[in-house]
Amino acid sequence: MESFPQLRISAGRRSGRTGPQGAYGFLFNRLKYTQRSDDFGPLRAIVRDAIVENFAIGPGEVILGEMVTQRRVHSVNSLVNATGINRFSLYRVMRKAGMIPETADTAAFNQWVFPADQGERLITRIQNSIPLNQVKHALGCSKTHAEQLAQYGLITSVVPTIEGKVGLTQGYFNHDDLSAFMTNVLPNTVFISGEEKGYVNLTVAARRFSSTAEILRWQLDGKLTGTLLLNEPLRVFRRPISPCYATISSAFRFS
């Protein structure tokens, strides 16, 4: 089973058109056309499993006399056909996500395969994502806050950005992940309708004492108590935890 993937790659690297017959040659033909099928039952099952694990075989295709009922792996080509995503864009995404090797530049699109469920789930999440320059609208924060959240890993891209760089058009920030972040930032938060004495917004607190990311990390870790959410406009507040923190709240607007 370890040898079959290597045979597939070595047999079809140049054109990417080689199928199971071209990759496994005599073995495949012998199992497919022999009249003594009963004698090769166990071997046929092994080779059939190897084929559906190493080639983008879809449901309904017949492999060595048996119909495939469920796809096990996708290639870039087959996933393009299933989703309609641009072929070259999908190729780059799969490399960044680690689903095909970074060194696969010269390999044909259908020569590298990856688990079908993982590939489809990744594409579904990407299609429900936005670049960093739109995160401020989803979270109701400033551009600077969004950059800091990404830089410090409080929000992460579905597909890793190149070398961890944070750029406004970089990344795929999933809407569901952003919603979960909002929920985690404000557990059991008390809402208020107007300003209260003894509170200051997060922008002011971060400028004087810390960083936006650090304060929100404290909030996520449950280290800040008494956090309040101002409705108009929406802001996060907290009571002081020591004399050096006059009070902390947030201009990080939530919507």
Answering whether pTM is above 0.75, one says no
Quote the CA–CA distance of 136 and 142 in Å, as a whole number. 6
Quote the CA–CA distance of 47 and 113 in Å, as a whole number. 17
pLDDT number for residue 250: 39
pLDDT number for residue 243: 28
| pLDDT for 143 beyond 90 | no
Q: Provide the Cα torsion 114, 115, 121, 127; round to 10°.
A: 20
Contact present, 68 and 52 (Cβ < 8 Å): yes
| pLDDT for 61 beyond 70 | yes
Coil, strand or helix: which one is 174?
strand
Higher pLDDT, 75 or 43: 75
Q: Which range, 20-24, 173-177, 209-213, is most confident? A: 173-177
pLDDT confidence band for 163 (50 / 70 / 90): low
**DSSP string for 25-61:** HHHHHHHHH-S-GGGGHHHHHHHHHHHHHHS-PPTT-
> Mean pLDDT for the chain?
76
Higher pLDDT, 18 or 135: 135
Closest CA to 148 of 85, 196, 46, 216: 216
Kindly state the tokens that stand for 38: 């009963």
Kindly state the tokens that stand for 114: 């990856």
pLDDT number for residue 238: 47
Q: Indicate the burial class of 24 (C-beta count within 10 angstroms; 0-12, 13-18, 19 or more).
A: buried
Per-residue pLDDT tens over the stretch 186-208? 776 677 777 777 776 666 767 76
Quote the CA–CA distance of 220 and 238 in Å, as a whole number. 13
Per-residue pLDDT tens over the stretch 99-141? 888 765 656 666 788 999 999 999 999 999 999 989 988 887 7
Contact present, 122 and 85 (Cβ < 8 Å): no
Quote the CA–CA distance of 72 and 8 in Å, as a whole number. 16
